[in-house]
Structure 1
Amino acid sequence: MDLIGTTRLIIWINQFDPFVQANDAAADIWQHSMEPITYDEAEAAVVAHYRANPGQQAQPGSILKRALNARASQEASTRAIEVPKTRRELEAQDGKIQRSWRQRNPEEWDRLMEQGRQERINDLKARGRI
Structure 2
Amino acid sequence: MSKIYLYVNGDGWQEFDRSDTEELEKRNITIGNRVKIGTNVTIGDNVYIEHNVTIGNGVKIGSNVNIGNGARIEDNVYIGYGVYIGCGVYIGNGVNIEIDVTIGNRVYIGNGVYIKDNVRIENGANVSL
Higher helix proportion (structure 1 or 2):
1
TM-score range, shorter chain: under 0.3
TM-score normalized by the length of structure 2: 0.25
Relative contact order (C-alpha < 8 Å, sep 6+): which is higher?
Answer: 1
TM-score (structure 1 length as normaliser): 0.25
